[in-house]
Structure 1
Amino acid sequence: MSQLIKKIPLAPIHLVVLLLTLYFVMYRLSVLSGLILVGLLALLWVHQGKKVCCQILSILACFFLFFGFQCVKATLDEAAAPTEVSSLAVKPDSIQVNGDSLSFRAISSGHLYIVFYQLKSQEEQVYFKNLSSLIRLEVEATVSEPEGLRNFNGFDYRDYLRTQGIYRTVKVQQIRKIRQHFSWNPLDWLSLVRRKALVYIKEHFPSPMRYYMIGLLFGDLDKEFDQMSDLYSSLGIIHLFALSGMQVGFFVDKFRYLFLSLGMQKEHVDWLQVPFSFIYAGLTGFSVSVNRSLLQKMFANMGITKLDNIACTIVLSFLVMPHFLLTAGGVLSFAYAFLLTVFDFEDLGHYKQILVESLAISVGILPLLIYYFYSFQPLSILLTVFFSFLFDVVLLPGLSLVFLVSPLAKLTQVNFLFVWLESCIQWLAGLGLKPWIFGKPSAVCLLVLLVVLLLLHDLYQKPKWCIALISLAALLFFIIKHPVENEVTVVDVGQGDSIFLRDMRGRTVLIDVGGRLRVTPKEKWQEKESQSNAERTLIPYLHSRGVSKIDVLVLTHAHADHMGDLLEVAREIDIGSIYISEGSTISKELMEMLQTIKTPPHLVKVGDTIPICDGFLRVLYPYGKGDGGNNDSVVLYGELLQTRFLFTGDLEDGELELIKRYPRLSVDVLKAGHHGSRGSSYPEFLDVISPRIALISAGKHNRYQHPHQEALQRFQERQIQVFRTDEQGAIRFRGWKKWKIETVK
């Protein structure tokens, strides 16, 4: 292998840079990657000459054909995915039971699906929780396309499933028959063994000990662990559960030590390590981080180290898992590996080396972290050092030993250590040290940041260069957090309302926070862990725009779909002032939430103003104390960048009162009342205000059938352009002096 590397006319890591740009050109159709590729080839021609350039082009051509084949295959597979399913072969280690919700991956007619089913009884729940055999289900089900992107910078579930080779989701209405089956596929055997291990741990070990055991040994985090998982995420150390590096090294080193100590030759152990790596990868779910670490280990056995090692690992990864760089986990795993390879602080003392290395890696990975997660927890620099030692040196070997001896003795007495550990995590999270919210950089900004940090690594001994590069990096981070533009965004929060406004000065206003009715399950077994709408939609969007504080929050009225997620938003984002109508104080639920977040509300009056953009929002309604319902909605009107906006909450009959009080009210953009229901957007109201554009916030396939056809007909008759979140996702107005309208779809 070393001889083959020497024959390459270019350093392997430089060749990989070219392949990476080609990869993103092919898989993401990226113009930026195309320009970079052309620029790199031009530099190669200038510095290495025509002969070397032609040799490299021949290698790139081979990968171009391979990447092209993969793209065409994915397109054909997606087009050929059946629209009907009656039989499903379940992947047992993918089974997830969350209250009365069941999900798993399954194969039907050679196609892979993600399957959802609502459990009908507690007996069904227990059966699937304890299932540890290969089964085939005969079902009545509907097949549909996965949900795509709903908000700017949001999570694209459809795109994620495509990287897994899944192009359709299945919703099972009824399971007709369950039968066991046998498979000759080794992947199914590994899936079954992994499932048996997971069920065994859940049956024989107490919580929270079992969550750490299945997480560190088998790469699976149970739904019941979601609450603690969120705390680890808030502290920036959830990556410790991503099996790689130390964990893989631990098991591979023990495997090699065992056979070498038995007298087996190193060459034979190297070959034995290949099937062992395949089995271990299968038992941990074939995650990208595990596969990457195993490949690096195998190349290290061949004497390939440092940058050559990471380069060879990337090239082989292109072949064995082509979509590995299309997910955040894959990119971050290889980025961490690259930084660990590049940084060399061996001349420092042991403890100083650990701290400096941790700081350097945290800074080096920062652009990618904020690109995917928009934030950074500075406390994670110190916590990673301590908890990495705890997880890799103490918990991993300890839990491995406990698991291996469990058939003879269940050492569950050590569970108190995990209880204590979780108490410490809860205490740390309770200190209120929130992560720094940066926002999501553009692709160009991300690239420049990465180049700046790489140059900083090479030139850190030159003070003038250091100052210049650090200043440039600081400027880029500032621009990411404080984009110099105005915006009005109707966030897609499902069946609810939430509208975000920000101006060039950085002033922010949020109108409503969305939410949903919380339905108490009939029986305890049906209870499940779930995220609020805001945690999936509004909060990620605000963080992606660098928002860590809302100056003014207006809750138009006291219905759950407008104010239900207040606590979740207040937990993640600081709120300056909260404006509510006097009638909303009748709502016991709202007042309890306001007491919890300790923010006294401002009771709005007609004529109150909120400065934003180049003007202000004025309160037009309600005139007196109402009941906190739809017709008690706070109505806001403002001329922003020469465009007149009217935000009406869930106003219905109140529209007629509004035009009586303001008979000359002129509007350019109307946020339609009550999600476009039949009882809003009265013809008389529309005739008076004469809007050009109507914005409707409604959930896709909502049970209320909003927006109603009658309301849409009224808009059409008056040639009012309609934008709908249920069809187009989030709607955004942005610009400096003039608005540009954009939608997600």
Structure 2
Amino acid sequence: MNKLKNLLLYDASNYIHIVILVVLYYISRTTYIGWVLLVPEVVFLFKKSKNILVYALIIIALINIRIIVNERNSSRIDFPINGKVQEVYDDHFILRSNINYLCYYDHIEELKPGMIIEITGTYIDTDTYNIIHTFDYDLFLKSKNISQVVNVIESTTIKNTFSFYIIKYKINDYINNNFEQQTASFLKLFVLGDNELDDHLYQSTTKLGITHLFAVSGMHIAIIIGFLRNSLKRFNITKESSSYIIIIFLVFLNIITGFKVSIIRASCLVFGITINRRMNLILTRTDILAFIFIIFLLINPYSIYSLGFQLSFLISISIIMGDYLFKDDNQIKSLLKITLLATAISSPITLEVNNEIGLIFLLSNLFFILFVSYIFLPSSYFVIFIPKFSDVYAFIINIFIKATEVFLKINQVVEFNFPTIIHKLLFYFCIYMLIATYKNTKKMILYVILLIAICLGSLYLNYPTNRFVRFLDVFQGDAIHIHDNKCDMLIDTGDYDNYDNLIHYLKGNNTYEIDILLITHFHSDHYGELEDLINNLNIKKIYLNSDYQGITNYQVIDEGYCFECGTSKFQVLSANTSDENENNNSIVLYGLIGGNKYLFTGDIEAEVEREIVDKYNLSIDVLKVAHHGSNTSSIENFINETSGEIAIISVGKNNSYDLPNKNVLKLLETYDYQAFRTDESGSITIYYCEILDLSIIELYQKQKRNRYILWNV
């Protein structure tokens, strides 16, 4: 024990470098920039602290082993499946077996935590669009330690056993039975950590930048612990006894909140500080936080991808490292500084999700943090024990809602995001340097100017090059983004999408205006997101192949119509042939982009392909293969006459149509096309680098490093 203690003391205050190295390793798994930053950190540790480097490498190796084991164990097994019910929600529950299952069930009222059950059902695919700035559902599930999603058809109870989750379940049931719906939703929020607020109120808090108040976190725990310590002190309870009481309370709080990341992190920090003081380890709070961080990742290596995990650790470590900025200030001034620091540190993460920020976040946070700390949170615990005061609590809720409405009226929301990891890293560098040079006015001004330049660069240098064509992975559908200098054009939108991935992709790149939106034809996999795009973005021009009742201010275009987007030029070769088969009514578009000739074919079939070959002498470079590679299209004469180099097939992974057709792939190979498929390569982008006079093909897949292929060199 003494040897371990001495070893810990030897490297005290340096353990944060393990966290830095591990984080850089995670970044390097998906981007080459991670390697650029990882190598200098390794060299630095090799020279300054070999022990820390060895520890970090061992931990990275263990994390890799955990990832491999998790991947092997997460494969699907045959039904029936036996397991123990953990948490139960309104329409789904978590089943613990050899792995964790997220189970949707129509008769959820039959289940309680602790039940051992046998289920039969069907697996639900959790594939995610391989598009940057979009929600990764598969990774989200892994971060929650869930390996498979199941639609339960039948459930049979084998026996009942005890589970800590039953305590939360009983409290939840008690709240539902004793309070009105709105009151119950706020009590669950502040006591159980479950957000069941209506969407309108939640969106309002997002615009005001106060959603962090709706997650039971370190701030809430600090308030509760402060209240407990003051109360115990008044009863002359010793510090040692108070520490034990607080630890017992934190254990109970973890149980009733379902062991949420932010609660566990804050609780472990309190435990760590207590142990550190008792054993005289003289470890810093950043050291303790580093140990907690590592333990989390060793338990679940995917927890680092959880939004709550990222915000919880990032904000905590920033406040700990920057505590000298506000330790001598009064409460209001200190609160303002902490809010500003926390907002700045968290903004690259929250902007990636929300794509907007309210400009009065300082004022709104000052009011609502004080309101929650001194009124809302204490009254939540009070009223849950004494329901007779629920009317008073309802009045407090009403004040809260009215206050959000008042702040919303004076709030100005700015849509913004840091579009690339380079923008994000430069932003964090500036924030770090601002903290480090807090008392040096000249240097602070310099870094503020640099910070403004980074924000402006995020708006105006939001894409890697001035011109590109991107075939977006929208599963079994088409969506093509053409960017030429200041012009943005979309060809089709993909199918209906509850996650609004196309909108998040565009807003994530600070693109809020589409110059041209062209719908090739009216099949849902090509125009499904049309109305959502119109409602969320400024669309200047809409080109359709025929009239559509759902919208106004559009133009029906016919064969021969020409238009431009930036310096790129387009001509319609076919449109609305009055065929009963809507595929053959697709707008076929010939484009000259970056010196290359493109043919965008929609879903045309053999008949239209023959007509195009007969009418036009086509010689192209890039072919968007018609109808997702179906054998109803891509006839040999058409493929031969177009004589291109690159063929793009937009197709869904494991689709029920078994596309692309094998004969079509063989035909493309016969005529020397290099075929790229969205189901295998994700989103496919052809960049035009004018300075270097070359074209680069980028293949983007989530959780993989991008692949690049030089073309036309």
Q: TM-score band (shorter)?
A: 0.7 to 0.9
Between 327-336 and 312-321, report the one with greater CA deviation: 312-321
Contact 1:552-1:575 within 8 A present in 2 as well = yes
In structure 2, the partner of 1:521 is: none
- Is 1:114 aligned to 2:101, yes or no? yes
SS at match of 2:15: helix
Aligned-partner residue type, residue 20 of structure 1? V
In structure 2, the partner of 1:211 is: 185
Between 84-93 and 494-503, report the one with greater CA deviation: 84-93
In structure 2, the partner of 1:73 is: 66
1:659 Cα shift? 0.9
Deviations 1:606-654 (A, max 9, x none): 4444434642223333278889943333332212122211222233366
SS at match of 1:552: strand
Between 486-495 and 374-383, report the one with greater CA deviation: 374-383
- Is 1:152 aligned to 2:108, yes or no? no
- Is 1:319 aligned to 2:319, yes or no? no
Aligned-partner residue type, residue 543 of structure 2? Y
Q: Distance in 2 between matches of 1:576 and 1:207?
A: 43
Contact 2:15-2:52 within 8 A present in 1 as well = no
In structure 2, the partner of 1:502 is: 483
1:267 Cα shift? 0.6
In structure 1, the partner of 2:57 is: 64
Aligned pairs for 1:525-564 within 5 A: 532-533=497-498, 535-564=499-528
Give the direction of change, closer, same or farther, for the CA distance of 1:273–1:672 in structure 2 (3 Å limit).
Answer: same
- Is 1:338 aligned to 2:317, yes or no? yes
- Count of residue correspondences: 682
Aligned-partner residue type, residue 201 of structure 1? I
In structure 2, the partner of 1:522 is: none
Q: Distance in 2 between matches of 1:9 and 1:340?
A: 25
Please, which of 81, 89, 93 is the counterpart of residue 87 of structure 1?
81
SS at match of 2:99: strand
1:307 Cα shift? 10
* Residue ranges of structure 1 left out of the alignment (5+ in a row): 47-52, 98-102, 517-531, 595-599
1:29 Cα shift? 4.9
Please, which of 399, 408, 411 is the counterpart of residue 390 of structure 2?
411
Q: Distance in 2 between matches of 1:579 and 1:611?
A: 13
Q: Distance in 2 between matches of 1:404 and 1:674?
A: 63
In structure 2, the partner of 1:100 is: none
Aligned-partner residue type, residue 552 of structure 1? I
Give the direction of change, closer, same or farther, for the CA distance of 1:730–1:226 in structure 2 (3 Å limit).
Answer: farther
Q: Distance in 2 between matches of 1:460 and 1:628?
A: 68
SS at match of 2:434: helix
RMSD of Structure 2 on Structure 1 (CA): 3.8
- Is 1:469 aligned to 2:442, yes or no? no
1:510 Cα shift? 1.4
Could you tell me the TM-score, scaled by structure 2's length?
A: 0.83
In structure 2, the partner of 1:329 is: 308
Q: Distance in 1 between matches of 2:400 and 2:525?
A: 37
1:169 Cα shift? 1.0
Q: Distance in 2 between matches of 1:652 and 1:137?
A: 51
Aligned-partner residue type, residue 334 of structure 1? F
SS at match of 2:284: helix
Give the direction of change, closer, same or farther, for the CA distance of 1:561–1:33 in structure 2 (3 Å limit).
Answer: closer
Aligned-partner residue type, residue 659 of structure 1? I
Contact 1:105-1:112 within 8 A present in 2 as well = no
In structure 2, the partner of 1:104 is: 93
SS at match of 2:455: helix
Contact 2:376-2:396 within 8 A present in 1 as well = no
Q: Distance in 1 between matches of 2:38 and 2:678?
A: 37
Q: Distance in 2 between matches of 1:24 and 1:356?
A: 26
Deviations 1:519-547 (A, max 9, x none): xxxxxxxxxxxxx34x3421222233232
SS at match of 2:490: strand
SS at match of 1:411: helix
Aligned pairs for 1:588-627 within 5 A: 588=549, 590-591=550-551, 594=552, 600-612=553-565, 614-622=567-575
1:355 Cα shift? 4.2
SS at match of 1:679: coil
Contact 1:133-1:192 within 8 A present in 2 as well = yes
Q: Distance in 2 between matches of 1:630 and 1:140?
A: 40
1:664 Cα shift? 0.4
In structure 1, the partner of 2:209 is: 236
Contact 1:511-1:555 within 8 A present in 2 as well = yes
Aligned-partner residue type, residue 405 of structure 1? I
Q: Distance in 1 between matches of 2:393 and 2:174?
A: 18
In structure 2, the partner of 1:513 is: 493
In structure 1, the partner of 2:20 is: 21
1:549 Cα shift? 1.9
Could you tell me the TM-score, scaled by structure 1's length?
A: 0.80
Aligned pairs for 1:673-684 within 5 A: 673-684=626-637
Deviations 1:691-743 (A, max 9, x none): 33332323334455544555445445544333332343322222314332232
Aligned-partner residue type, residue 21 of structure 1? I
Aligned-partner residue type, residue 139 of structure 1? I
Please, which of 154, 164, 170 is the counterpart of residue 196 of structure 1?
170
Q: Distance in 2 between matches of 1:250 and 1:411?
A: 22
Aligned pairs for 1:240-251 within 5 A: 240-251=213-224
Give the direction of change, closer, same or farther, for the CA distance of 1:386–1:79 in structure 2 (3 Å limit).
Answer: same
